[in-house]
Amino acid sequence: MTFRHDPEHADRTPQTLAGHAVIDPNLQPVGEVTDVLYDEREQMPRWAVVKTGLLRSEHYVPLAHAYLDQDGHLVVAHDRAAIKRAPRARRDHVLTREIARELRDYYNVAA
């Protein structure tokens, strides 16, 4: 499932992902969504910024193949260990070309 921006159904847009618990495909807790980043050309959400622990570190997680389960958890396609090793999000959550390249190489997905 890919999330789509739908102004008529604001309660189901990715903006509401902020605050949702994130779990990996093995149902292991990963953290909590703090922000959602969009592809500006397609107006599609591409990345979630996920706070992964007590040290307040945040990591980018691709939303490709992610979905909300019946309990409201965001289930992502990558396991917890891989996400915690992923490039960290900057405080401003801006995806620069350099960060996009790192994410593309790390997750093997288009950034």
Give the pLDDT confidence score for residue 111 in this predicted structure. Answer: 61
C-alpha torsion sign, points 85, 89, 91, 97: positive
Where along the chain do its domains lie?
7-107
pLDDT tens digit sequence for 23-63: 999 999 999 999 999 887 878 889 999 999 877 799 999 99
Please give the Cα distance from 24 to 44 (Å, whole number): 22
Residue 14 has pLDDT above 60, yes or no: no
Confidence band (pLDDT; 50, 70, 90) for 15? low
Structure tokens at 63: 């939303």
What is the CATH code of the structural domain delimited by 7-107?
Answer: 3.90.50.10
- The span from the CA of 106 to the CA of 15, in Å, is 25
One-letter amino acid of 80? R
What mean pLDDT comes out for the span 74-96?
94
pLDDT digits (tens, 9 = 90+) for 60-82: 999 999 999 999 999 999 999 99
- Structure tokens, 106: 């790390």
